[in-house]
Structure 1
Amino acid sequence: MKIAILGAGAMGSVFGGHLALAGNDVFLINIDKQFVDTVNSNGLVVETSSSRDVVKVAAYDNPSVLGVVDLVLVLVKSFHTKEAMLSALNLVGDQSVVMSLQNGLGQEDLLAEVVGRDKVIAGKTFVGGMMVSPGHVQSGVEGKETIIGELDGSLTSRVSLVEKTFSAAGLKTTATDNIVGAMWDKFLINVAAGALSGITGLNFGNLYDLSEVEEIGVAAVAEAMAVAEALEIDLEIENPQDAWIKASSGLPFEFKTSVLQSIERQMITEIDFINGAVVRAGLKAGVSTPVNSTLVACIKGIERSFSPKKM
């Protein structure tokens, strides 16, 4: 397949690197010129717990120079979704598919506003990624599944093609007729540890060593599951503890969540699309979400510290 990774940060580089290794025609799009220059000069370094590959793949800081592709895989920060897609409309042809694997909820609606709902398929992934340095990514794919599907629940040939292409690249992928439920299952994983990692500044090895932190993480998931039940969403995860455990499964001691990675760079996080989405959905469903509200407030406070207002 011809695939453009719109937002080739840590996760985008993991997917793009593995897909390119499998022989797909991949374009990495990242506004960071250092990343682009490094990848084009030296290749993309993709490191797993058992391997280290240098992948020859083309990188660009401007999608407008590219033509139509089969698949646009969107992995920009959630709050940049609409803006990024508007800048990359030249990638989308009559038969193109646009798919988000971003954290949180709501990106598919934003993409549909730009390209039309008929071109959008949905996906969620349990794969992990961390950018060690520009052009060098640590990949957590072992035992991690990606789930994709049509927004209307149908099983189509285009979803089947993406499923086969990703799986052939070592990115275990499954098509489902319940993508909304699958999205919420993945959403629970983000809810479990993302904000807590950002607030404490701890990598997973240290975060998961504190019972007090675990108690809050599990409580945040329990609130989200109560919201899902009120909204009649069919989940596979049955126990909040399972989401907490699954969030770190297969990832290295030093792994950092995307929320923490953003905070360390003094960048705005995706908290509004993660724990913030629990709070908004809770208001809609009439379910109280005090734990998630507190986590959102803490992250917002940290974000304000990057550029505090002054008298």
Structure 2
Amino acid sequence: MKICILGAGSLGSAIGGTLAEAGMEVILVNHRQDYVDTINSKGLIITDGTTERLVKAQARRKCEGIGPVDLLIILVKSFHTKQAIENAKGLIGDKTIVMSLQNGLGNEETIAEVIGKERILAGKTYVGGVLLGPGRVLAGTQNKYTYIGELDGSITDRVTQVAKLFSKAGLLTVVSHNIMGILWDKLLINTATGALSGITRLTYGNLYKVSEIKECAFEAIAEGIAVAKANGIVLATENPEEIWLKAAEGLPADFKTSTLQSLEKMSVTEIDYINGAIVRYGKKCNIPTPVNQSLVASIKGIEYQLKNVEGLVD
């Protein structure tokens, strides 16, 4: 299967590298020239924090010249989704499956506006990744599940095929008939640790040692659960502690959330699509979300500082 990872950053490198290691043809699209040059000349080093493996894959800065692929996995930042899928039209053939594994809510709708919803699979993954350098990624894949599904909840041959391929490669993958519930489940996972890690600059090993952080996370998760229920979403659990613990399950102590990674790179975060999504959906159904509003405000303040004083980039 010919697979393209559009937005091969930390997570994209972890997933793409794992698929390439299993023998699939994988093209990693990343705008950084040093990343592309390193992958093409030396390969990608995948580490779990203890051992390292060298994997051969292809890398490109742009989509031009790649041609139609069997599976296009979207992993760009949510605020770049529309432009990215517009630029990727040349990758989409008659039988191409387009699957979003992005953070937050609303990406599938944005993609559908450009290519139609009939091509789209939705998914959420609990795999983690941290880029340690242009050709080296810390991948948290062990016992981390990926859930994928058709937008209408049906179980089709194509979604089953993708799940089997992922699982064969070592990415444990389950087909879900409740993908919207899965999207919300992952949103709550990101709500648990993303903003708090970004604000405190703590990795998981230290984040989970501070009781006040845990209490704040529980409140943010509880708000998200209330909003989800008000919108008719069926969740896997309504227990904040279970969600808090699941967020770090199987990940190394030095793992950093995507929010923290973005801030350390002086990049815009996806806070508007995570905690900010809970705030927006809460307003629609008159559910108060003061903790999530405060977390959004705090991250926005950090972004403002970086942009106006230190030169934050998109």
Note the C-alpha offset of 1:265. 1.0
Find the counterpart in structure 2 of residue 86 from structure 1: 86
Find the counterpart in structure 2 of residue 21 from structure 1: 21
Query: Are 1:73 and 2:73 counterparts?
Result: yes
Encode CA deviations 1:99-126: one digit per residue, 9 max, x unaligned: 1111111100011111111011100001
CA distance in 2, matches of 1:203, 1:89: 37
In structure 1, the gaps of 5 or more residues are none
Root mean square deviation, CA, Å? 0.9
Name the amino acid aligned to 1:67. G
CA distance in 1, matches of 2:125, 2:62: 26
Note the C-alpha offset of 1:131. 0.5
CA distance in 2, matches of 1:202, 1:36: 30
CA distance in 1, matches of 2:241, 2:307: 36
Q: Give the TM-score normalised by structure 1.
A: 0.98
Name the amino acid aligned to 1:246. K
Query: Are 1:180 and 2:180 counterparts?
Result: yes
Find the counterpart in structure 2 of residue 127 from structure 1: 127
CA distance in 1, matches of 2:65, 2:192: 39
Name the amino acid aligned to 1:235. L
Find the counterpart in structure 1 of residue 312 from structure 2: none
Note the C-alpha offset of 1:170. 0.3
Encode CA deviations 1:54-92: one digit per residue, 9 max, x unaligned: 111110001111100011001111111111111111000
Note the C-alpha offset of 1:285. 1.5
Find the counterpart in structure 1 of residue 248 from structure 2: 248
Encode CA deviations 1:6-45: one digit per residue, 9 max, x unaligned: 0000100011001011111110000010000011111001
Encode CA deviations 1:235-280: one digit per residue, 9 max, x unaligned: 0122011111111111111110000000011110000000000000
CA distance in 1, matches of 2:216, 2:2: 43
CA distance in 2, matches of 1:38, 1:194: 29
Find the counterpart in structure 2 of residue 41 from structure 1: 41
Find the counterpart in structure 1 of residue 169 from structure 2: 169
Note the C-alpha offset of 1:230. 0.5
In structure 2, the gaps of 5 or more residues are 310-314
What are the equivalent positions in structure 2 for 1:114-263 lying under 5 Å apart?
A: 114-263=114-263
CA distance in 1, matches of 2:115, 2:135: 30
Name the amino acid aligned to 1:134. P
How many percent of aligned residue pairs carry the same amino acid? 54
Note the C-alpha offset of 1:307. 2.3
Find the counterpart in structure 2 of residue 306 from structure 1: 306
Find the counterpart in structure 2 of residue 5 from structure 1: 5
CA distance in 2, matches of 1:175, 1:240: 24
Note the C-alpha offset of 1:49. 4.2
Note the C-alpha offset of 1:177. 0.6
CA distance in 2, matches of 1:109, 1:182: 16
Question: When the two structures are aligned, how many residues end up with a matched partner?
Answer: 309
